[in-house]
Amino acid sequence: ILITDIDSLIRKKIDFPNADFGFYHRKSLDTSEKWYKDGSKVAAGLVFINNDAQENASLFLETFKKNLFSFHQEGNWRWMVDQRSLFETYTELKTKYSHLKFDVFSETDLSWDFNEQSHIWTGKGDRKFKNKKYLKEFRKNKKEYQKKLRKILLYNFLGIE
């Protein structure tokens, strides 16, 4: 299972890690407020769950849900709650389940700056509407998707190859 941001562009074949879970770690925001500092340590835009061991998905979802609801009950339903819950989930899984294997994604896997080497680009903020490099790649992906979809629909509904 690969979780990405909705505005992510999958640009290259992704080789899934040989691990139970994969997370994208990043430098935390430069702030003294723990909520934002911890919430920015793990990016929500790229998470891997190895579903070969089906208990991994259940373990991840239950832990994430518990953390999310805990923040809600504490009145911490605010910006970055998803990332903060993800950080708490990662920390809890890593601490409680030492037998599990974790992989760390890098800028080769995910880029906000549209690095040519990156497998996935994600358009944060206005970048997805204004960055020419991102928009060009978006249009290319959209055109390829529409072409494949048209081919599938013609084959499935009309028997045309």
Taking only the tens place, the pLDDT of each residue in 122-154 is 988 888 899 999 999 999 999 998 998 888 888
Tell me the per-residue pLDDT of 98-120, one tens digit each, with 9 for 90 and over.
999 999 999 999 999 999 999 99
pLDDT, residue 158, reads 76
Look at residue 9 and tell me whether its pLDDT is greater than 70: yes
Given the DSSP bridges, would you call strands 110-111 and 120-122 parallel, antiparallel or unpaired?
Answer: parallel
Q: What is residue 159's predicted lDDT score, i.e. its pLDDT?
A: 72
**Diameter over CA atoms, the chain:** 61
**Residue type at position 21:** F
The confidence score (pLDDT) of residue 40 equals 93
Which amino acid belongs to residue 3? I
pLDDT digits (tens, 9 = 90+) for 26-57: 999 999 999 999 999 999 999 999 999 889 99
**Is there a contact between 99 and 90 (Cβ–Cβ < 8 Å)?**
no
DSSP code for 151: H
Helices (H), the chain: 34-39, 54-73, 81-96, 127-130, 132-153
Q: Specify the residue for token string 């040519």.
A: 116
CB 146 within 8 A of CB 152: no
Task: Give 27's contacts (C-beta < 8 A, 6+ positions apart).
Answer: none
Q: Look at residue 161 in the predicted model and tell me its pLDDT.
A: 67
